[in-house]
Amino acid sequence: MNDRPIRNLEALAAAIPDGAKLAIPADYSGVAMAATRALIRRGAKNLHLVCVPTSGLQADMLIGAGAAAIVETSAVTLGEFGRAPRFNEAVRLGKIEIRDSTCPAIHAGLQAAEKGLPFMPIRGILGADLLANRRDWKVIDNPFAEGDPIVVVPSITPDVALFHAPLADREGNVWIGRRRELMSMAHAAKRTLATVESISETSLFADESLAAGVIPAIYVEAVVEARRGARPLGLWDAYEADDAFLAKYAANAETEAGFAETLEPWLAGSPLAAE
């Protein structure tokens, strides 16, 4: 636990220790890219990324910058812009440990942690090759039906959940709309850090139209205002992704030199890269 107040992106990045198990959302869910910039700037190392349930640019940048040691995910991809080049290269060279998963298994592991359970049963991966590579996944007999095997996956308890959302209030409540995976992340994690587009002066629970989509402050350690904090990715109902940046990144990051050439101005916060 960081004993200094988290009031800006630099303090937020400092509050995520090296080696932390860090839960991050898919590109469509509200990715804290401004915080990721601060995390890379501070030289974060040995992170265990838990992608909920996939990741793209955020994971690829953290891997390329040498910040990630373990990646637990069902996929890392840049979507319509192609493969995630730094992720693929790191896997090929054995620079990171991959804990291959599926989308339902990631969600099930988080749900187990939400409920304080050691594991969660799941059916969809019976017979899959993944079972040979995930020694921590077990096939057991259904105790309520003889001859009915079922897979159990261990709970996933992130040290930190990190995401970006449109709105919070001064009490620390965070509005995530219908992005329920962010709620699961916050419930499952030991600590939750969020960046937001803006901070309301009135409680989000006072507005009936917002209340159902609010993560209560009891689950949130800190909120930092970071306008356009998901860029160059998009944020639902707020702004679109920067397709020009993503296309350039996908092409340049095929090589380590090209990745560094693209990353450097983004870390510096140049108008082209940041806006």
- Looking at the 3D structure of the chain, how many domains does it have? 2
Query: Whole-prediction pTM value?
Result: 0.95
Same domain, 82 and 207: yes
Backbone torsions φ then ψ of 11, nearest 5 degrees: -70, -35
Same domain, 128 and 252: no
Q: How far is CA 198 from the centre of its chain?
A: 20
Same domain, 132 and 72: no
Is residue 246 within 8 Å of residue 57, measured between CB atoms? yes
pLDDT digits (tens, 9 = 90+) for 47-58: 999 999 999 999
pLDDT digits (tens, 9 = 90+) for 165-221: 999 999 999 999 999 999 999 999 999 999 999 999 999 999 999 999 999 999 999
Same domain, 80 and 169: yes
Backbone torsions φ then ψ of 159, nearest 5 degrees: -70, -40
Backbone torsions φ then ψ of 214, nearest 5 degrees: -110, 130
Same domain, 172 and 70: yes
Residue 148 is assigned to a structural domain of this protein? yes
Q: Measured between alpha carbons, how far is residue 105 from residues 152, 154, 203 in Å?
A: 9, 9, 35
